[in-house]
Amino acid sequence: MTNRIQSINPGYGSGALAQERNKVLRNTYWLLAMSLIPTVLGAWLGVATGITQSLSGGVGLVVFLGGAFGFMYAIEKTKNTAAGVPVLLGFTFFMGLMLSRMIAMVLGFKNGPDLIMTAFGGTAGVFFVMASLSSVIKRDLSGMGKWLFVGALAIMVGGIINVFVGSTAGMMAISVAAIGVFSAYMLYDLKRIVDGGETNYISATLALYLDIMNVFQSLLALLGIFGGERE
């Protein structure tokens, strides 16, 4: 009966698909907003207790990569179950905890709180621009995916190398590249939802969360390098 209704009313299918896409986008935005709460809690706990201060160099890298990829694997496995959302929120708490080391360093500056708020405002601005563009651009952006993946991979490799090298110039170059690549990734991931290429809101939230975290962290690093005022 449903197939007959669709064949009689050609607009039925497109309307249902549009409604489904809007639902995924709406759920993604809600979960994305919710994911910031555990992130802030994790960052606060890390700064307050100093639990991540010993995680420097190779040890910190192993803990971060092991935890991040472990959580992402678990999210992929549970994204279609009731456990998907709690696992995702657990991941965002972990990411906040890992971010706390950089936040603690920035808070060591006299203008540290201002730098953090500037980085947050800049990230929110990038997200707003990309969300607006994703709703008006009609062109298919799926071809960007492979190039963005290569760029993200290069940034990750460069970041791992710089952990051991400790170059300020290297960190600046990586941060600038990360802002560009992950801002474009933000547009790509949002456009996939709008076009119906991503139908799971947990996967969509994870992708956007990673984009946002990378842009925020890179902005914060640059602001700390160029704008940090010593006591």
pLDDT at 8 over 60: no
CA distance to 39, 41, 129, 145, 150, per residue, from 34 (Å)? 9, 12, 21, 27, 30
Token pair, residue 203, equals 């996967």
Domain ranges, residue 196: 2-227
pTM over 0.75: yes
pLDDT at 169 over 60: yes
Distance between CA 92 and CA 103 in Å, rounded?
A: 16
Distance between CA 229 and CA 216 in Å, rounded?
A: 19
Question: What domain count does the chain have?
Answer: 1
Closest CA to 68 of 91, 97, 40: 91
pLDDT tier at 62, thresholds 50, 70, 90: confident
pLDDT (tens digit per residue) in 63-84: 888 999 999 999 999 999 999 9
pLDDT at 57 over 70: no
- End-to-end alpha carbon distance in the chain: 73
pLDDT tier at 179, thresholds 50, 70, 90: very high
Provide the phi-psi class of 196: left if phi over 0, else alpha when psi is between -120 and 50, else beta: left
pLDDT (tens digit per residue) in 79-136: 999 999 999 999 999 999 999 999 999 998 888 899 999 999 999 999 999 999 988 9
pLDDT of residue 229: 64
Residue labelled with tokens 């060591």: 108
Closest CA to 99 of 87, 110, 91, 109: 91
Which of 14-18, 74-78, 99-103, 186-190 is predicted with the least confidence, judged by mean pLDDT?
14-18
